[in-house]
Amino acid sequence: MPKNILRTGRLSKDMSPIVEKFLTSVKDDIKISFYDVLGTQVHNIMLIEEGIVDPQDGSIILAELQKIKEEILAGTIEYDLTYEDIHPLIEDRVINMVGIEIGGKLHSGRSRNDQVVLDIKLKIRDDLIVIAKKLIYLGETLMDLARKNSIVICPLYTHLQRAQIGTFSHYFLAYIEELNRHLSRIWDCLIRVNSNPLGAGAVGGTSIPINRQRTTDLLGFDSIQLNSLDAVSSRDYTLELISIYAIIATFISRIAEDLVIWSSAEFKYITFDDAYSSVSSALPQKKNSDTAELLRAKSSEIIGKAFGVFTMQKSLYSGYNRDFQQIKPQLWDSQEILSENLDILIGILSSMEIHPEIMEQATKEGNLIALDIAEYLVLNNGISFRMAHGIMGEIVQHNPQDLTNSEIIASVAKDKFDLDLAVPQVELEKYNDPVYCLASRKSLGNPSPDQQEYMIELFNRELEDFSRKFKEKAEFFQLCFKKVNDLINDFTKNLP
């Protein structure tokens, strides 16, 4: 039997070696080889059940495919890189083992065009669940930090300038609230990805009476991607997927930037564990936050790959185009980078040392109580916020050490706005206590103790809900694959 039986019909000669190297995607297809065999098995189970392929012949095909799948799982399969892609490689392997009379039936009612979309979608499903699980683990790590630091006083910043008194847990809760949105995006993407393209054929379906609902059920899809042209030519789900990867990468990069700043000698809010630090080749005293810095750089790689995936698709004619081949490595690389970034970030956060005393000291500098006192003047003296803002701003400019001095406040109010303010000194002095400042905050979602407790409970409940949903979906997919294996065993049990 000639190698690559696919080329023996329309073409009269073998492919040029330079063209073989240019066209092949086998290296990238290794990551979907398991799914390619699985999808082929399910397609052939359906062909047998529909009476399209003789049960005996179909069972022989299933048995050979099972051997290939086991080799893939064991890592012992040899990939011939002279093939264009994984699909004819596996088909040829079966044909060479059982002959073209039987093996040549496995591709009936199918095309590489719907086959590759199926493979990609099956892998994306698993990749999304992997990323979701790591995000959930990150969320649990952040939640633990939020609980432990709910009374740790620290500055909150705008423009990298100290702005208001807050708690360190407020940062972690901010990360968790965003993280839950990322999990929501992943869940929504998973639902849209989980529609079955198999049966669309090359572009216009098939006259062979296949059963698309059966392959949908066997593979755990929620629905059928109905229109055959849409099924083989749309890749919007890859745009959505890599956009999500880029958004999460940006999220990780921003946390990494916080960690780099907080660990600097100028801040000293945290110290990286030695296991997540590097050293200078020349400066003996240096301990560098290289892991966090590389999180920023590697996140940029994902953003770049997302740009590449968008530009590959922006001008493609409807139908299958070979350009689609180049999308796969961008997706696989991005998933691997993101997965590693999440592991590193979790390691940094779970091992770093926090310095509460330095953070609290920073809140006593920089006039962070100016807004609290301005709002006190609004609430207790009936003046407009803009007037209170002007009074406190002038005191910060000329007498920053006297923010809680009632005589100074009264003097500035009179000179600036001709206001007669009587502010009890004892009330103002309460604002020298950062805990009092926090307790006075009334808005929903602020860093006061009661709101920290509320957000911890709410965000943790959301995180647990996502954890449950992704766990159930992963278990459902595994159950589907087990049913497929059980069917294969039933079909092949009587073979010699």
Which DSSP string do the residues of 304-363 spell out, in sequence order? HHHHHHHHHHTTPPSS--GGGGGHHHHHHHHHHHHHHHHHHHHHHHHH-EE-HHHHHHHH
Helices (H), 194-289: 212-218, 228-233, 236-262
Work out the number of other CB atoms within 10 angstroms of the CB of residue 10.
Answer: 6
- Strands 353-354 and 270-271 come out as antiparallel
Q: Contact 120/93 with Cβ under 8 angstroms?
A: no
Please, how many CA atoms are within 13 Å of residue 219, restricted to the half-sphere of its CB?
34
Active-site residue flag, 280: yes
Interacting residues of 460 by C-beta distance below 8 A, sequence separation 6+: 143
Identified catalytic residue from 184, 223, 280, 384: 280
Q: What are phi and psi of 164, to 5 degrees?
A: -140, 160
Going from the C-alpha of 352 to that of each of 266, 316, 406, the distances in angstroms are 17, 48, 42
Identified catalytic residue from 12, 159, 281, 315: 159
Unique residue bearing structure tokens 């749309």: 234
DSSP state letter for 202: T
Q: Which residues of 406-421 are buried (b: 16+ CB within 10 A; e: fewer)?
A: bebbbbbbeeebebeb
Decide: residue 285, CB within 10 A, 0-12 exposed, 13-18 middle, 19+ buried.
Answer: exposed
Active-site residue flag, 87: no
Residue positions counted in the chain: 496
DSSP state letter for 83: S
Q: Rounded to 10 degrees, what is the CA torsion of 463, 469, 470, 471?
A: 100
Say how far apart CA 463 and CA 177 lie, in whole Å. 9
The kind and range of the H/E element at 291 are: helix 290-313
Say how far apart CA 492 and CA 496 lie, in whole Å. 9
As a whole number of Å, the end-to-end CA separation of the chain is: 23
Say how far apart CA 139 and CA 175 lie, in whole Å. 8
Interacting residues of 10 by C-beta distance below 8 A, sequence separation 6+: none
Q: What is the set of active-site residues?
A: 159, 280
